[in-house]
């Protein structure tokens, strides 16, 4: 009869952790990573991820080596990665991403991801965490994004003129048009919330500059445009100094949750039940027809006002 593995309680020194590729998806794996660390605090955890998600883990104090999975190289990239990974005998290997990588990794105990068909009603954080339910404590840790003094110093410098001000951070872009709320709706929202905030902070990548420029030109209140000026961690440090974040279905909403500020995500096409920002400070809304352009700015503003006034 097959015996279920008995996971080690002591003498765990090396753990392999395979995370996901997109910024938001990678952040949603951090509670599982943190749970492993809390269970085995003396272990060094090597992480496998993508070039774009690597920055999320840059300052992780218990990370050993970050191994980049070069997806564009196909099988050649996987073979190259495996050659490196097989140099180490791991105590535990956890794969939240692929279906077969663990079969070729050397590890005493292997934890595979849960199948999608059995977890369709679960949030992604729960799905990842429950793969470790036989190993870790039952309480899901908070999302993590590790910030250094360097990132916080840049945030302080950019917001130096706005100390002790209530900041509304906005993310106007996303990686797909069907996820992008019109800039005019963000303007209606920001104007409706003006009495609750002293400053609007615009965040995003270079691709969002045109939307941010339109917003800044048409918004009558104080605004600072930081789109394209900061990397992921510096942006997280700016969010950390904000009171509230509103944005589309993108990594910024997950970053807001990771730095423990309140947020509202406007969903277009997507699955908020599984991929909404995690935590009790994260609000969201999706039109029944999945058309993000149908969601009025005042409607979202009123939901946020209700949340602000209930604090």
pLDDT tens, 143-174?
A: 999 999 999 999 999 999 998 899 999 999 99
pLDDT tens, 194-250?
A: 999 999 999 999 999 999 999 999 999 999 999 999 999 999 999 999 999 999 999
Distance of CA 110 to the CA centre of its chain: 25
pLDDT for position 1? 40
Angle at 49 (CA atoms; ends 262, 244), nearest 5 degrees: 10
Angstrom distances, CA of residue 9 to CA of 6, 23, 61, 134, 141: 9, 32, 22, 11, 19
pLDDT tens, 41-81?
A: 999 999 999 999 999 999 999 999 999 998 888 888 889 99
For 16-47, give one letter per residue: b (16+ CB within 10 A) or e.
bbbbbebbbbbbbbbbbbbbbbebbeebebbb
pLDDT for position 3? 46
pLDDT for position 134? 85
The alpha carbon torsion through 256, 261, 267, 271 (nearest 10 deg) reads 70
Model confidence band, residue 37 (pLDDT cutoffs 50, 70, 90): very high
Q: CATH top-level class for 14-130?
A: alpha beta
Model confidence band, residue 10 (pLDDT cutoffs 50, 70, 90): low
CATH of span 149-310 = 3.40.50.2000
Tokens 């997950």 belong to: 254
Residue 278 contacts residue 254 (beta carbons within 8 Å): yes
CA atoms within 13 A on the CB side of 115: 2
| pLDDT score of 100 more than 90 | no
Exposed/middle/buried for 300, CB within 10 Å: 0-12, 13-18, 19+? buried
Segment 271-284 mean pLDDT: 96
| pLDDT score of 5 more than 60 | no
pLDDT for position 4? 52
Residue 189 contacts residue 246 (beta carbons within 8 Å): yes
Q: Do domains 14-130 and 149-310 have the same CATH topology?
A: yes
Least confidently predicted of 6-20, 179-193, 233-247: 6-20
Tokens 């009790």 belong to: 280
| pLDDT score of 125 more than 90 | yes
pTM value is 0.94
Nearest-angstrom CA–CA distance, 24 and 109: 28
Domain boundaries, the chain: 14-130, 149-310
């Amino acid at each position: 009869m097959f015996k279920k593995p008995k996971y080690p309680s002591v003498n765990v020194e090396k753990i392999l952790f395979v995370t996901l590729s997109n910024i938001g998806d990678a952040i949603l794996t951090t509670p599982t990573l943190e749970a492993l660390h809390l269970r085995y605090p003396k272990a060094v955890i090597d992480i496998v991820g993508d070039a774009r998600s690597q920055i999320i883990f840059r300052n992780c104090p218990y990370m050993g080596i970050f191994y980049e999975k070069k997806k564009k190289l196909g099988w050649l990239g996987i073979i190259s990665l495996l050659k490196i990974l097989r140099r180490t005998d791991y105590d535990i290997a956890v794969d939240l991403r692929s279906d077969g990588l663990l079969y070729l990794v050397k590890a005493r105990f292997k934890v595979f991801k849960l199948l999608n068909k059995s977890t369709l009603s679960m949030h992604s954080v729960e799905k990842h965490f429950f793969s470790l339910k036989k190993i870790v404590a039952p309480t899901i840790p908070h999302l993590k994004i590790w910030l250094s003094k360097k990132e916080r110093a840049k945030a302080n410098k950019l917001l130096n003129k706005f100390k002790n001000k209530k900041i509304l951070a906005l993310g106007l872009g996303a990686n797909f048009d069907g996820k992008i709320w019109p800039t005019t709706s963000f303007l209606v929202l920001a104007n409706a919330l003006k009495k609750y905030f002293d400053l609007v902070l615009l965040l995003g990548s270079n691709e969002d500059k045109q939307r941010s420029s339109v917003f800044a030109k048409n918004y009558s209140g104080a605004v600072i445009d930081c789109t394209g000026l900061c990397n992921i961690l510096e942006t997280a440090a700016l969010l950390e100094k904000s009171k509230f974040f509103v944005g589309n279905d993108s990594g910024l909403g997950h970053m807001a949750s990771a730095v423990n500020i309140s947020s509202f995500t406007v969903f277009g096409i997507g699955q908020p039940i599984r991929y909404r920002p995690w935590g009790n400070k994260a609000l969201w809304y999706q039109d029944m027809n999945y058309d993000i352009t149908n969601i009025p700015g005042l409607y979202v503003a009123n939901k946020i006002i209700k949340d602000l006034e209930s604090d």
